[in-house]
Chain A
Amino acid sequence: MESQFQFDWQAAINAIPFLLEGIPYTLMISFGGLLIGFVLGIFFGLLSINKLWFLKWPATAYIEIFRGTPILVQVLFIFYGLPDLIGTSINPFTAGIAAIALNSGAYISEVVRGGVQSIDKGQNEAGLSLGLSRTQTFWSIIWPQAFRRMVPPLGNQAIVSIKDTSLFSVIGVGELVRQGQIYIATTFQAFEVYFMVALMYLAITFSLSLILRFVERRGLVSV
């Protein structure tokens, strides 16, 4: 059977305003989740380098659990499962932010660990030999250098997390994909609408890539 398909530009353009309504949710869940994920990542990443087993072990468990299970399962668990435990329902938006936060936090922990461990131990020795405490040495010498090395993998994680939010259409968050699905339910023009959805993700992630490239070029002058 020969395809009679013709791309309907008008339909694609008509879908834009409705799809755009999903973008604030996509962005808020992504960046809200990533912000919390960054805090979790610093916290658990630093714990995971610690020599004390009772600090290291919980951090390692957290990282393994949230890296080792699909984010789709995580968000379903938070949205449908957790309410049974805590006795109150969780709105989809909050569940989405929580899933991005916990999931990206696990990956960012590994980024933090790798960044910190990549700094030459001579830097630590130089700080200590000058009389700085371990804490001062870490925050004024090790961390600033480690953070610069963390920028590219953090950017990578941000792009992954932005795309991960598309899965949250399953719990009914009105993000980009969900908006697309609703629109298609009335127009049946899946090709045009998903094409526009894909284009909008690309616009977000590509802008982020450009910003990151700029930051890297400026931030990595001396290291």
Chain B
Amino acid sequence: MTDIVKMKGMNKYFGNLHVLKDIDLTVSQGEVVVIIGASGSGKSTLIRCVNGLEEFESGHLEVDGHPLAPKSGNPKALAEIRKEVGMVFQQFNLFPHLTVKKNIMLAPKKVKDAPETVANATAERLLNRVGIGDQADKYPSHLSGGQQQRVAIARALAMEPRLMLFDEPTSALDPEMIGEVLDVMRELAKEGMTMMVVTHEMGFAREVADRVIYIHEGQIVEQGKPDDVFDNPQNERTQAFLSRVLAH
């Protein structure tokens, strides 16, 4: 299987703070990788490096065959990567001045020069797929958090990404809306989408992930099949973390 993401010896600093330490990580096509860890451990920073929202200081990063140089020294590769990698944010980041449908149509029209009719059809199909086909002409502020996040997923899918990044997609949601977003993600995983997911939803991780990665203070401390990591963690850091989050 082809590797979509290849990280080798990647280091990232915020000033003097060493946030990612010698990260080695590959993600194969079709794989669902869930990244867990305490807040501030660097897990969000890790996936934000994949589409260049964060620069890294040293090491190698290759996404779908496009090598990204440290300090974003390769703008052409970055542009290609962003066309192929979708991202879903904790705070949704929908465009509040555009209707739901226009949110989804924007990138295909601007980046891929898709004709209006094609972009429109894509938007309608994707909205139906995430279960909110009837909300197309509303503005994001008129939707619930769960609906907004589903629109955000549809918006990313409209670019037909080869890889989807999820940065704590359910952390800003009311508890009763988490399920509807996870359902959409579960469907995506089933359809074979390659996904990197940062989340605190351990149930989702156990059920959907092909591999779970535990990050502690910028280092990958443990990784493996969900059942192994959750039921039989080898590293004591992982054990401590899991006993805290799984206790309740």
Minimal beta-carbon separation of A215 from chain B (angstroms): 15
Residue of A nearest to B109 (CB): A140
Please state if A130 and B89 are interface contacts (CB–CB under 8 Å).
no
Contacting residues, chain B, for A223 (C-beta < 8 A): 96-97
State the majority secondary structure of interface residues on A: helix
The interface stretch among A83-91, A120-128, A157-165 is A120-128
Contacting residues, chain B, for A130 (C-beta < 8 A): 82, 86, 106-107, 111, 155-156, 159
A128 and B53 in contact, given A140-B106, A140-B110, A221-B139 (Cβ under 8 angstroms)? yes
Please state if B96 and A222 are interface contacts (CB–CB under 8 Å).
yes
Please state if B95 and A141 are interface contacts (CB–CB under 8 Å).
yes
Is A179 engaged at the interface, CB distance under 8 Å to the other chain? no
Interface members, chain B 134-169 (any A CB < 8 Å)? 139-141, 155-156, 159, 165
Interface members, chain B 17-55 (any A CB < 8 Å)? 51-53
Contacting residues, chain B, for A140 (C-beta < 8 A): 106, 110
Q: Find the residue from A131, A140, A141, A222 having the highest chain B CB count within 10 A.
A: A131
Residue of B nearest to A220 (CB): B97
Please state if B141 and A222 are interface contacts (CB–CB under 8 Å).
yes
Please state if A129 and B86 are interface contacts (CB–CB under 8 Å).
yes
Please state if B159 and A125 are interface contacts (CB–CB under 8 Å).
no
Minimal beta-carbon separation of B198 from chain A (angstroms): 14
Complex: A221 Cα to B52 Cα, angstroms:
33
Minimal beta-carbon separation of B32 from chain A (angstroms): 19
- Interface size for B (C-beta < 8 A) is 27
Is A132 engaged at the interface, CB distance under 8 Å to the other chain? yes
Complex: A117 Cα to B53 Cα, angstroms:
18
Please state if A131 and B96 are interface contacts (CB–CB under 8 Å).
no
Please state if A126 and B95 are interface contacts (CB–CB under 8 Å).
yes
Complex: A136 Cα to B95 Cα, angstroms:
14
Complex: A200 Cα to B155 Cα, angstroms:
52
Contacting residues, chain B, for A123 (C-beta < 8 A): 93, 95
Interchain CB contact (< 8 A) of A129 among B51, B95, B139, B141: B51
Minimal beta-carbon separation of A89 from chain B (angstroms): 48
Contact-residue bracket for chain A: 20 to 34
Complex: A100 Cα to B85 Cα, angstroms:
48
Complex: A222 Cα to B53 Cα, angstroms:
27
Interchain CB contact (< 8 A) of B89 among A126, A141, A148: A126
Contacting residues, chain A, for B86 (C-beta < 8 A): 129-130
Is A144 engaged at the interface, CB distance under 8 Å to the other chain? yes
Minimal beta-carbon separation of A148 from chain B (angstroms): 7
Is B79 engaged at the interface, CB distance under 8 Å to the other chain? yes
Complex: A222 Cα to B140 Cα, angstroms:
8
Q: Find the residue from A123, A130, A221 having the highest chain B CB count within 10 A.
A: A130
Please state if B139 and A222 are interface contacts (CB–CB under 8 Å).
yes
Complex: A131 Cα to B157 Cα, angstroms:
12
Please state if A125 and B93 are interface contacts (CB–CB under 8 Å).
yes
Partner-A contacts on B (CB < 8 A): 51-53, 79, 82-83, 85-87, 89, 91, 93-97, 106-107, 110-111, 139-141, 155-156, 159, 165
Closest 8 CB pairs between A and B? Answer: A222-B139, A126-B93, A130-B107, A122-B93, A129-B87, A131-B83, A131-B111, A131-B82
Beyond A126-B89, A221-B139: 17 further Cβ-contacts under 8 Å? A122-B89, A122-B91, A125-B93, A126-B93, A126-B95, A129-B86, A130-B82, A130-B107, A130-B111, A131-B82, A132-B107, A145-B95, A145-B96, A148-B97, A222-B97, A222-B141, A223-B97
Q: Can you sample 9 A-B contacts with CB below 8 Å?
A: A123-B95, A126-B95, A128-B53, A129-B87, A129-B156, A130-B111, A130-B156, A131-B83, A148-B97
